[in-house]
Amino acid sequence: MAVRPGAKLRSVVCATEVVVVKAPPGDVDVDIECGGQKMVAAADAPDPAGRPAPGADGGTLLGKRYVDATGAIELLCSRAGDGSLAVGGVAAEVKAAKPLPSSD
């Protein structure tokens, strides 16, 4: 699936929905997965059926940003669910908050 900023994706196995915040320039084909299954465009998504695969059932947190291992793709969780996010088969991590500068 071609990934572009602003794309809304939905899981086919749980309630998870994400918005692509950051993606490499151009049309990059990459598999974004949730619960062990490829995510689909939110507008085309059927109702979730089944359960997340074992090992891909850690859940997603509403409002958290997830990044792939290289930091090239960033996803914002707009609806939490039971499946874990992955990009290209590698688990996505919750993006850490940037520390604020000291006010001393």
The average pLDDT across 18-46 equals 88
Domain boundaries, the chain: 2-94
Four-CA torsion 13, 15, 21, 27, nearest 10 degrees: 30
- pLDDT 10s digits, 82-104: 999 999 899 999 998 888 888 76
* pTM score of the predicted model: 0.87
Is the CB of residue 96 less than 8 Å from the CB of residue 27? no
- CB contact set of 45 (below 8 Å; sequence gap of 6+): 10, 11, 12
